[in-house]
Amino acid sequence: MQTHKAGRQGMRRILIRCADAHWLMSRGRDAPLPWLDRARLYFHLRVCQACRRVSASLDLLGRAVKRLGLG
């Protein structure tokens, strides 16, 4: 998972890459993110439409799966 570790290099680096943002989006659905990662993701989403779209689609996936079988 080399792509995901880059976001953690340099303790205070706030600006992250799309690959790191994708990882944090998913990670945040499974456990609370540390505050610095939350800030990183927040700042990235503010400026990246591509990642906002991915984030919205992951939300939709989560909602859709909960309706499986309920018609």
Partner 1 sequence: MDEIAALQPLLLGLARLQLRNDAWAQDAVSETLVAALEGVAGFQRTAQLRTWVVGILKHKIIDQFRRAGREVAIDTQEEMDGGDALEALFDAGGHRVSAPLDWGDPEANLSRQEFFTILEACLERLPPALGRAFLLREWLEMDTPQVCKELGISATNCFVMLYRARLRLRECLEIDWIGSPADAAQHATARQ
Q: Which of 12, 22, 43, 45 binds partner 1 (CB under 8 A)?
A: 22
Site membership for partner 1, residue 18 (CB under 8 A): yes
Q: Is 15 in the site for partner 1 (CB under 8 A)?
A: no
Q: Judged by CB under 8 A, does residue 11 bind partner 1?
A: no
Rounded to 5°, angle at Cα 31 from 26 and 37: 70
**Binding test (CB under 8 A) with partner 1, winner from 13, 14, 29, 42:** 29
Rounded distance, CA 25 to CA 45, Å? 10
55 CB-contact burial (10 Å; exposed 0-12 / middle 13-18 / buried 19+): buried
Whether residue 33 contacts residue 45, with contact meaning beta carbons closer than 8 Å, is answered with no
Residues near partner 1 (CB under 8 A): 1, 3, 6, 17-20, 22-23, 26-27, 29-31, 50, 53-54, 56-71
